[in-house]
Amino acid sequence: MQKIYADPYQLEKSAKEKFSIPPFLMMENAAKKMADFIIKKNPESVLIICGKGNNGGDGYALARLIQMQNKNCNLSVLQFESPSAEEAKRQHEICKKLGIKIFTDFENSSTKCLPYYDVVVDCLYGIGFHGELSEDAKKLLDWANSLAALKIACDIPSALYFKADFTITMGEQKLSLFDDKAKAVCGKIIVADIGIERGKLESGFPHAAFLIEKSDINPPLRKNRSANKGTYGHTTILVGEKAGAGIIAGTAAMNFGSGLTTLLETKQSNLGQFKISPELMISDKIPEKTTAIVAGSGLNMEEKHFSAVSDCLTSMVAWFKSVNSPAVVLDAGFFYYDKICPLLEELNSIPNSKIILTPHLAEFVRLITKIGEDIDIKTLISSTEIKIKLARIVTKLYPHTTMIIKSANTLIADGDEIFICADGVQSLAKGGSGDVLAGMCGSLLAQGYTTKDAAITAVEMHALASQKIGAEAYNLTPEKLIENLA
């Protein structure tokens, strides 16, 4: 896992004081990492767009290093504003004295620039930019985005408007790079060191979250040679009105290691109309040896439909109170249940209980509104920091609960710990994908995982499965997703 920081300025300020590294050297080191990356691409032409601050200073330093290391490269700098930061002024002056081609009037200079560049580097605005872009800045970035070039952002795409293929961020992972709206423009994120070993740079400084990586997963491999089907638990899926969702969750649970999987019928479900895998059992009662329940997939929990599932809900709560270490995944329909907060209080009051919630953003808004917080989806998409704050409210109120907030960058909250999965791709935007994840989580709980370990492993393996199918694949289905879990 990598640490993610909400306040990179304080981290870098601390590093300057702690290690006595001057700002110009940090800028030089950052520029060198960018230059090394770009030169490996062997470009014939490079355009660097520079702003007035230290992000622009990185750009001027980058231009000098590219000129020094690749004299045959046709190099241009487009200066959007005169440098105002001291280090930017210094680097700009060096570039002028070295004769590096600097254009200062975009309206006129864009016609003088080459019609094609191999690489375009955005050094206009950095992590400290707030507010709205000027119309001139938008016009410049629209033009840059239109170029058929490899696009690289320095630290962060300017105002999340520049559309980068790569973002080379300086020193550490930054929380704003993992806002949902940033995912469409950041491309692949690469951390460049600034002359301080990363562990020492981050030592003793509080982080906001962990970034989940493939090495963090703990898949449910069958290592016990004397195991039987009971060794790997029994997952029961509460099937609602949209029975296909429950069947998907059950199929995912079965394919993710659950020793036994049962579909629990309600008055809403009509399983007879579906072709169901023979490995899935069907019951109208919770099986005695159930070790985890998945509830909510395809359920209609609005008040006018509640009577159809009330008996199953009563049975679920009774089961929860009767077993040691009861485990449940609440998904989808449960976030429309008017009494979800009292239900969560009751479930969390039971010793050793294990609860995972799996809302998408709209469902999370419904839950957090019932708790008494006022928020909208647009704010959650724009700010991971706010999403973290609200998720912690939930896990503090319900201490046996781990929260998975499904979005472009899925967030997991477990107590005060926050984990972010950035590996999921846009092909997951398909009905049933969330039911697969709910079934996976239930399967791992049934097999004895903690809620944290189940959430991290299920979310990351769900994301990796989507990558195997392809980011732009329009033909992803829950069935294909399940097939790619191994």
> What is 2-207's CATH superfamily?
YjeF N-terminal domain (3.40.50.10260)
* Cα angle 319-340-325, degrees, rounded to a multiple of 5: 30
CATH architecture, domain 214-483: 3-Layer(aba) Sandwich (3.40)
Using DSSP, state whether 330 is helix, strand or coil.
Answer: strand
Q: In what order do the strands lie in the sheet with 401-405?
A: 173-174, 2-5, 209-211, 417-421, 410-414, 401-405, 354-358, 327-331, 292-295, 234-238, 260-264, 281-283
Using DSSP, state whether 372 is helix, strand or coil.
Answer: coil
Lowest-pLDDT choice from 114-123, 276-285, 291-300, 449-458: 114-123
Residues of the chain with CATH 3.40.50.10260: 2-207
Look at residue 270 in the predicted model and tell me its pLDDT.
80
Tokens of 466: 């989507």
Amino acid at 368: I
Residues of the chain with CATH 3.40.1190.20: 214-483
For 337-377, the pLDDT digits (tens) are 888 999 999 999 999 999 999 999 999 999 999 999 999 99
For 174-192, the pLDDT digits (tens) are 999 999 999 999 999 999 8
Look at residue 115 in the predicted model and tell me its pLDDT.
65
**217 — pLDDT class (breaks 50, 70, 90):** very high
Check residues 202 and 346 and name the one with the higher pLDDT.
346
For 397-411, the pLDDT digits (tens) are 999 999 999 999 999
Distance CA 389, CA 407 (A): 16
pTM comes to 0.92
Look at residue 289 in the predicted model and tell me its pLDDT.
93
Distance CA 73, CA 451 (A): 53
**220 — pLDDT class (breaks 50, 70, 90):** very high
